[in-house]
Chain A
Amino acid sequence: MHESELIQSILDGNQQDFKLLIKKYETNVFRAAIGFLHNKQDAEEITQDVFVKVYQSLSSFKGKAAFSTWLYRITVNTSLNYLRKKKRRGFWIGLSDLLQIPSKDKQTETIITERSEKIIIQHAIDKLPEKQRLAFVLSRYEELPQRQVAEIMKITEGAVEQLILRAKSNLKKKFEKELEWP
């Protein structure tokens, strides 16, 4: 069934057809959400929220943009709102992860180093300015073409390219600063 037919069928009241739409896009939504949240449980929660919102507002989708573009916009907004709410709590959780008592065991030390690096990278991504983060996550996690990222963000492709370049440069700087490299 074609996507527009599927949407029409859902709008006509065939609720079970919505499951087909979920199956088609759940991985994309989940992957984009994990790019923003870096946590499986949170990403699943966001995926659920996104599809509930999509179901409730499907009648407002006019088909001017691709369905996936509309879906990504909802995903981005839901993820960013969720992050804003969770910001303070997330900071303390991250900090407690970093402050775990180190062991002398070589293998544990490596695990801690890897975990610290992971947390530093995640924090660096989270601290990027919102537009840079958006462009970076959509292009790196979802591997979306710049054209689609531009459509989702309602900016030009050139602006997307600039945002991604600046995001990469900022990430490098932040990472070096955190690890105090010369």
Chain B
Amino acid sequence: MTSKKDIHQLIEDLIQKERNTEANPFLSTRIMAAIEKKNFSEVKQVSPVWKTAVVAFSLVAAVFSGVAAGSLYQTKNTTPDVVVMNDDRMENFVFYNEIGNE
């Protein structure tokens, strides 16, 4: 392992190595592309206040249109449906259920 005297040298060597690391030569192009992308997305982006306002307005509109549609419906007073049945000709099931007729 390294001798005790070399600590500062070790630190200096590491710093020097890291200092000599070179960035990607296309970094500036990448940065410009990121800026352009950000600009474009900002233009397209709708403010969060507007988004909230639109959602709130849609909810209120939905509730009102529901209420309006509900009040448009009117029930008509029609006579109740009565089923008139003539049961004279109906088959007597009791007849078949009698034990003696089996």
Contact = CB atoms under 8 A, between A and B. Distances in A.
A141 B34 contact: no
B31 A47 contact: yes
Contacts of A141: 15, 18-19
Contacts of A133: none
A172 B28 contact: no
Q: Is the contact region of chain B dominated by helix, strand, or loop, or is it mixed?
A: helix
A23 B31 CA distance: 11
Contacts of B19: 31, 34, 141
Contacts of B14: 117-118, 121-122
Interface in B17-50: 18-19, 21, 23-24, 27-28, 30-32, 34-36, 38
A86 B95 CA distance: 90
Nearest to B2: A117
Nearest to B42: A56
Nearest to A41: B24
Contact of A23 (B2, B24, B28): B28
B1 A179 contact: yes
Nearest to B36: A15
Interface in A15-34: 15, 18-19, 22-23, 26-27, 30-31, 34
Interface residues of B, number: 23
B76 interface: no
A140 interface: yes
Interface in A90-138: 113, 117-118, 121-122
Contact of A51 (B7, B15, B31): B31
B7 A47 contact: no
B89 interface: no
A140 B12 CA distance: 9
Nearest to A31: B19
Given A22-B32, A52-B38, A122-B14, A175 B27 contact: no
B89 to A, nearest CB: 88
Interface string B50-67: 000000000000000000
Given A34-B21, A47-B23, A171 B11 contact: yes
A42 to B, nearest CB: 11
Given A31-B19, A35-B18, A19 B32 contact: yes
A44 interface: yes
